Amino acid sequence: MPRSRQRASTEPVRAREVLEVETSLLEGFTFHCRPDCGLCCFTTPAVAPGERARLVQIEPSFPLLEPAEEAPEEVLPVIAARPNGGACHFLEGNRCRVHAARPFPCRTFPLHVTLGQRVQATVVLSCPGVECGDLSRWGRARGRSTGTGPAPLAPATGLEGELRAVREELLRPETVDRLARTSARWAGVLRRVRRTTGEEDLGALMERISRNPPRPGSADLPIEPPPSEEARLEELPLTFLPSRGVVALRGAMHGWEVLAMRADGEEPHVLAVYPDPAEVPRTTPEGTRLLQGYLSYVARRDVFLSLALARWADDPVEAPTVGEIAEAMLRDLALQALGRAQVLARLRGRPADPLGPEEVEEGVRAIDMDFLDQAALGESL
Ligand code: SF4
Ligand code: SF4
């Protein structure tokens, strides 16, 4: 059985099983954190009780936001961020003041780990420390250990510490119980899909889609804009540009705004406004290959199937098949990546029509974190 895609099973994982993490989607990537970045620290990381005690030793009264009273028991408090969409309280000059005691989400980034029917790790491509290399290889390669496919991939490098932190977390009984719950939920939806749409092996279906991802066309327009001016600054999609630092995108009355974000909590300022992309942005052949490679990569992620299942489960009577939902999701994702790529290319004075691979990669980086942040049927670790 290929490690890159297991057959989607209707049997839930039993509680107290020893958990393995599936890592084939890390292959071929290298990671080295950039000292000038700080993108992943524009957040409010959750803090477990043991981690809180270690942080208190460093700074006895650091700002911790407790969950709302009505929140489920398992919701953890978070470290406060600075105002105006600024960075985490502990970030100082792009360095974490509590690096050795940073909480779990910080110790595992740029890994994104999905608890579904199994535990799968994937790379957050928005992190500029992740060297994407040639993403288009994912349109062809199927992973080192499958024994098939034309392009075997090298093991990941630079992610050893992050993977160790994930494996430690998997030893906790609470995590095993969480996986048992998510996999039972997942197995239940799969049984309903089978009965309703007749789709049997969704793992194989995703593999087929990933080998030949759909192309977006004008029928898929308009491109979904970023959140509007009514959204809080903390909710805006962020990306890192080497020449500009962390920037956010915002939908405004006259087009898409690009904002320069300030880690220190000062008000961000608008760098530029561009008209909404009205057509499907064109790409060079290399740009097209890179985009297709990204879609192939996404379709191999368990979180992608999990999102498609969640959308199907929202309205199983009216919904199309899971396969149709998945293809529409990929076309939509492609359009959003291209829209963001075009705006960022204009900001940088780069060719915006057609978009080359470098510009498409920037669009991919600007969308991937948002894509992974969506609520799915499975949970993130
Ligand atoms: S986003 Fe990536 S490169 Fe940037 S600080 Fe975080 S881990 Fe480092
Ligand atoms: S705790 Fe440190 S690593 Fe984590 S978000 Fe805050 S500054 Fe960044």
pLDDT in tens, 50-81: 999 999 999 999 999 999 888 887 789 999 99
Per-residue pLDDT at 302 exceeds 50: yes
Q: Whose CA is nearest to atom 7 of ligand 1?
A: 33
Q: What is the pTM of this model?
A: 0.91
State in Å: Cα 111 to ligand 1 middle. Answer: 11
User: Which position has the token pair 């792009």?
Assistant: 94
State in Å: Cα 56 to ligand 1 middle. Answer: 24
Instruction: Give me the pLDDT at residue 141, please.
Output: 56
Instruction: Compute CA distances 126 → 158, 175, 373, whole Å.
Output: 16, 26, 12
Q: Whose CA is nearest to atom 8 of ligand 1?
A: 33
Nearest to 4, CA basis, from 23, 29, 18, 20: 23
Nearest to 377, CA basis, from 114, 157, 73, 9: 114
Instruction: Give me the pLDDT at residue 370, please.
Output: 94
Residues contacting 369, CB < 8 A, separation 6+? 124, 126, 237, 238
Amino acid at the residue 281 = P
Residue 234 tokens, joined: 């903390």
Instruction: Compute CA distances 236 → 66, 226, 298, whole Å.
Output: 23, 7, 22
Residue 239 binned pLDDT confidence (cut-offs 50, 70, 90): very high
Is residue 246 within 8 Å of residue 238, measured between CB atoms? Answer: yes
State in Å: Cα 129 to ligand 1 middle. Answer: 6
Instruction: Give me the pLDDT at residue 114, please.
Output: 92
- b (16+ CB within 10 A) / e for 17-37: eebebbbbbbbbbebeeeeeb
Average pLDDT score, the chain: 89
Per-residue pLDDT at 12 exceeds 60: no
At CA 97, angle to CA 94 and CA 100, rounded to 5?
115
Amino acid at the residue 53 = A
Identify the residues whose C-beta falls under 6 Å from ligand 1.
Answer: 33-34, 37-40, 109-110, 127-129
Residue 335 binned pLDDT confidence (cut-offs 50, 70, 90): very high
Distance CA 227, CA 81 (A): 20
Q: Ligand nearest 37 Cα, by number?
A: 1
175-192 mean pLDDT: 89
Nearest to 299, CA basis, from 4, 29, 27: 4
User: Which position has the token pair 């398992």?
Assistant: 74
Q: Ligand nearest 63 Cα, by number?
A: 2
Instruction: Give me the pLDDT at residue 132, please.
Output: 80
State in Å: Cα 209 to ligand 2 middle. Answer: 37
Q: Whose CA is nearest to atom 6 of ligand 1?
A: 40
Burial class (CB in 10 A: 0-12, 13-18, 19+), 339: buried
- Which element (helix H / strand E) includes 340? helix 322-347
**Quick one: what percent of the chain has pLDDT higher than 90?**
67
Is the pLDDT higher at 379 or at 230? 230
Nearest to 85, CA basis, from 208, 246, 314, 254: 246
